[in-house]
Structure 1
Amino acid sequence: MKIAIAGGTGFVGKALTEHLLKHNHEIIILSRTIQGTIETNRIRYVQWLSENSNPIPELEATDIFINLAGESINGGRWTEKRKEKIVNSRLESVQALLEIIKTLNNKPKTFINASAIGIYGTSLEKTFSETETHGFGDDFLSHTVKNWENEASKVSHLGIRTVFCRFGIILDNQQGALPKIALPYQSFIGGPIGNGRQWMSWIHIEDVVNGILFIIENEKMDGPVNFTAPHPVTMNEFGRTLAQVLHRPHWLPVPSFALRLLLGEMSTLVIDGQKVLPNKLLAHGYPFRYSNLNLALKNIFS
């Protein structure tokens, strides 16, 4: 299939591109700049969201559009200016893709948009699944994701299957949150973060890319899909498991007030959480490669 990926040069985008190429798909990467990129017979780079760019001719007869574009939420303190950039970058990419798809003579079969479990808000007691349609959170992340999904849902009005991949904490050995969480442990100063009772709904990067391919191939799947492993853990359990895998102690606590002082509002990413289950993936028979945290971490740090 011919698959266009916006945000294909980011964390998930690179892993997904590599995975799709192994399955003999033709990939188009939509990027603001294409200088220095290397093309092959199955991967091309097309400029978009820049002056004088015209990606439409290259995108005719594209089967799948995947949107992973957006400013990183953990790339710096959440100042008002940065929060505005986080929101606007997501809405801009969706709106641009919507206009492109409207213009195409041959519309895609499927539109897959990145999303996040942050839409559910935080809770120590609740368990969230895709059937949650009300009572979403009232914080910055929740509002951001709701607006993001609402904008992306306009693609479905064109009769195109639309899927929202609500990512949890994606585990990888070089990118994402895990290297930052692991660093104190590798320096023998790791320990509980906050009260340790907050939930961490995690997923291995391999299950992210395998899960997206699974959705592409299962045309009955649409709407929100939680991308989390079937067994979420508390932050304390996560830390103890990480310490065991790294053969390091789990002893030095990091109090919540210190993290709030250091990170400001962005501290919610590590001291708050939510217990989220991937019921849709399980119901459709997706075979998680890493449903056990210990096995996932051993694979990553082996």
Structure 2
Amino acid sequence: MQTVLVTGATGFIGSHLLRYLLQHHFQVIALSRKMHISNHVNLQWIDSLTALENISLDYVVNLAGESIGQGRWTAARKQKLIQSRVDTTKKLYQALTQYQIKPKCIISGSAIGYYGVDFTEQWLNVCDESSSPQAIFMSELCQKWEAEALSDPLQNTKIMRLGVVFGKNGGILPQMLLPIKLNLVGRIGSGRQPMTWVHIDDVIQAILFLFQSASDQKIYNVVAPDHIDQMQFVNVASKVFKRKPFLPLPSFVMKLLMGEQSQLVLNGQYVQPKALLNEGFKFQYADLDSALRQIIHS
């Protein structure tokens, strides 16, 4: 039985990952700021990295971090978002060094926000793992997080740059679908802005795939190969729900409501999972229609 440490274990991705690992007979150590009662023989909750002393780990999945979508990006909020990722990651690697733990592989989270946004709004460029970052907050947040995760050359760390993760029971998808389900808002802004997404099941399978990867590649975009824009998302979701939302939401309204954070909705980049595809990874949900139908109807 192989042992996996999961930080950020109570988050949307972490909770789905825990369920999968336990169903497939892994021993799981879950880090959370709040202690939980374990009802599973193969699950141990810890609230401090000091609990790792005398424990052997096969793999680590580092998902810890405050939700980026909750609350306006004030200066204090930005600092909290950075600290929740960078500080936890730093302490994780310090604990691994202190207790002489060297897992076979560490998967550390990041996001496609690393590539920033296309301010020209032409959206002709498609980013891959070699594309450059930008001097804007969401990109700098990812850069700092990744730099900390890759700071220990003795550990086999792989970075997972995630798109918007779609799945049941959490995440941002229910909020995105609600105005469509109510037959209200459809297009947001121009509607042409890229929407780069991935199904939660493919995220979990990508993690398991990277556990076994012998490649020297460090960075992986974990996104569906399907390139859609916001209006295409609305059209597919409307078809699934059999709705025809008619109200547009102008860009200036989003900017007034969300400030700088509106970049998450109004801007973006197309991103391709080049490294995963080159290594032979197969997406179970490569197109939006199949992904939404599975989530909504399952």
> What whole-Å deviation, never above 9, does each CA across 1:264-294 have from its counterpart, x for those lacking one?
1111111111100011111111110000111
Give runs of aligned pairs for residues 81-120 of structure 1, distance below 5 A: 81-120=76-115
Kindly indicate whether the alpha-carbon contact (under 8 Å) linking 2:104 and 2:211 is maintained by their aligned counterparts in 1.
no
Residue equivalent to 1:282: 277
Give the CA deviation at 1:144: 0.4
| Aligned-partner Cα distance in 2 for 1:233–1:219 | 32
Residue equivalent to 1:6: 7
| Aligned-partner Cα distance in 1 for 2:21–2:227 | 27
Give the CA deviation at 1:148: 0.6
Give the CA deviation at 1:71: 0.6
Give runs of aligned pairs for residues 35-184 of structure 1, distance below 5 A: 36-48=36-48, 54-57=50-53, 60-123=55-118, 124-132=123-131, 134=132, 136-155=133-152, 157-158=153-154, 160-184=155-179
SS of the residue aligned with 1:175?
Answer: coil
| Aligned-partner Cα distance in 1 for 2:239–2:78 | 36
Q: Where does structure 1 differ by over 4 angstroms across 4 or more consecutive aligned residues?
A: none
Give the CA deviation at 1:33: 2.1
Residue equivalent to 2:202: 207
Give the CA deviation at 1:197: 0.8
Kindly indicate whether the alpha-carbon contact (under 8 Å) linking 2:194 and 2:268 is maintained by their aligned counterparts in 1.
yes
Q: Which sections of structure 1, spanning at least 5 residues, go unmatched?
A: none
Residue equivalent to 2:268: 273
Give the CA deviation at 1:151: 0.8
Give the CA deviation at 1:69: 0.2
| Aligned-partner Cα distance in 2 for 1:173–1:237 | 21
Kindly indicate whether the alpha-carbon contact (under 8 Å) linking 2:185 and 2:245 is maintained by their aligned counterparts in 1.
yes
| Aligned-partner Cα distance in 1 for 2:25–2:38 | 18
TM-score (norm 1): 0.93
Q: Which sections of structure 2, spanning at least 5 residues, go unmatched?
A: none
Kindly indicate whether the alpha-carbon contact (under 8 Å) linking 1:3 and 1:28 is maintained by their aligned counterparts in 2.
yes
| Aligned-partner Cα distance in 2 for 1:221–1:249 | 47
Kindly indicate whether the alpha-carbon contact (under 8 Å) linking 1:67 and 1:114 is maintained by their aligned counterparts in 2.
yes
| Aligned-partner Cα distance in 1 for 2:258–2:69 | 10
SS of the residue aligned with 2:130?
Answer: coil
CA RMSD of aligned residues (A): 1.3
| Aligned-partner Cα distance in 1 for 2:139–2:53 | 36
| Aligned-partner Cα distance in 1 for 2:39–2:29 | 10
Aligned residues: 292
Residue equivalent to 2:215: 220
AA paired with 1:154? S
Distance of aligned partners of 1:68 and 1:218 in 2 relative to their CA distance in 1, 3 Å threshold = same
